[in-house]
Structure 1
Amino acid sequence: MEERITREELLERLFHDDYENLKGKKLRLTRVRVPGKSLDFAHVFTPSDGSVYENLALHIGVHEGEDHRGETIGIMRVTPWEAIVVATDVAVKAAHVEVGFMDRFSGALIITGGFSQVMTAVEDVVRFFRDELHFDVCKIHRS
């Protein structure tokens, strides 16, 4: 049977001598994020509480005066983050949806519209990233 070890145990095994010398001293750790090619979050939902739309800021900026309450929301996240521009392009060409928010610095996209339109857009984005761009993709979650 294969032994399962924790991350800390693995680090201790790998760096045992250094670890012994550094115990009790202040350590400075640097974490580096190396984004892969993945669409790691795809969620479609229709909120029952209007405050969700307000907290997502779907009522300000270019949406000022618009009322998105009752609309379905699709949220996606990709890495590398800049690929969200491609996801947005695919989504708006796949169905009649509005871009609620897009951030190329975090890879986040929020789209709104009717349920079938948002589902179609999210499904097309996931399919395109999987089949055309060869990204690792998640399943679409609905609630």
Structure 2
Amino acid sequence: MKEKQRIIQEFVPGKQITLAHVIAGPDPAIYVKLGLEPEQMDAIGILTITPSEGAIIAADIATKASDIVLGFIDRFSGALVFTGDISSVEAAVKEILETMEEQLGFAKAPVTRT
């Protein structure tokens, strides 16, 4: 009988942005399920940040960088969701990544887009 290998995974807190994604043309159902204002139907920016308090800092950077509307900030999971026209959302994501990397020493994920 072949012996099975057991793998244990642990979450080790670090300063990192693990997800940076832009949804350019979201389906209306996404807006409804997230509790966002469906009248706007703009692009959506989504980030996940560790430590989770970094989401608060990222929200501050985003609101100062471009004309976006905060959807929600989860200070426990580090999730940040915001909306705006595509250029504003992309500018906010770019500024968050650059500022948090250069000034706060965060590792950053590549920006993905759908």
TM-score bracket, shorter-length normalisation = 0.7 to 0.9
Structure 1 residue 68 corresponds to structure 2 residue 49: no
Secondary structure of the residue aligned to 2:5 is helix
CA distance in structure 2 between the aligned counterparts of 1:105 and 1:48, rounded to whole angstroms: 25
CA distance in structure 1 between the aligned counterparts of 2:88 and 2:64, rounded to whole angstroms: 11
| Structure 1, gaps ≥5 residues long | 1-6, 12-28, 60-65
- Backbone CA RMSD of aligned residues: 2.0
More helix by percentage: 1
More strand by percentage: 2
2:13 to 31, 35, 51: 35
Asked which structure has the greater CA Rg, the reply is 1
CA distance in structure 1 between the aligned counterparts of 2:78 and 2:40, rounded to whole angstroms: 22
Residue 81 of structure 2: aligned partner: 110
Secondary structure of the residue aligned to 1:111 is strand
Secondary structure of the residue aligned to 1:137 is coil
Q: Assess, with a 3 A threshold, how the Cα gap between structure 1 residues 138 and 32 changes in structure 2: closer, same or farther.
A: closer
CA contact (8 A) 1:53 1:68 kept: no
CA distance in structure 1 between the aligned counterparts of 2:26 and 2:71, rounded to whole angstroms: 18
What is the percent sequence identity of the aligned residues? Answer: 36
Structure 1 residue 135 corresponds to structure 2 residue 113: no
> 1:4-52: CA deviations, max 9, x gaps?
xxx926x6xxxxxxxxxxxxxxxxx8x7533111001000012342111
CA contact (8 A) 2:19 2:46 kept: yes
The count of aligned residue pairs is: 111
- 1:37-116 correspondence to structure 2 within 5 Å: 37-59=15-37, 67-69=39-41, 71-116=42-87
